[in-house]
């Protein structure tokens, strides 16, 4: 019964005008499509594809992190610890500031 229903439905065809418009949209000035350009630049060899994937992962992760960190700070301005601690304790007592540790040259293996 299901087979009869599927067989009676007409197949949907793409009109030639729609297909031509779709092809011309993806063509560049030289006649190469955008997909061909992306393939030839980023995916033609294994090393360029791997480098592209790693580069996008690294820089995309940095961009994603900094974007959401800025969004979080913008939405929570005045509520963050760094904002509140400066308002409550503008002049910390002496000796509580972060001091740079002096590097001691304690080499025990010098004899």
Encode the chain (111 residues) as per-residue pLDDT tens digits: 555 555 555 566 656 656 655 655 556 556 678 888 889 898 899 999 999 999 999 999 999 999 999 999 999 988 888 777 766 666 766 777 666 566 666 666 655
Residue 27 φ/ψ, nearest 5 degrees: -90, 145
Other CB atoms within a 10 A radius of the CB of residue 92 amount to: 11
pTM for this predicted structure: 0.46
């Amino acid at each position: 019964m299901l087979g009869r229903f599927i067989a009676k439905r007409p197949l949907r065809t793409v009109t030639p005008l729609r297909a031509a418009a779709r092809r011309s949209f993806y063509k560049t000035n030289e006649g190469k499509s955008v997909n061909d350009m992306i393939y030839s630049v980023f995916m033609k060899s294994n090393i360029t594809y791997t480098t592209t994937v790693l580069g996008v992962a690294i820089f995309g992760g940095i961009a994603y992190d900094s974007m959401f960190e800025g969004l979080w700070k913008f939405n929570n301005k005045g509520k963050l610890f760094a904002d509140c601690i400066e308002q409550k304790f503008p002049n910390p007592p002496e000796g509580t500031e972060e001091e740079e540790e002096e590097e001691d040259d304690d080499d025990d293996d010098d004899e």
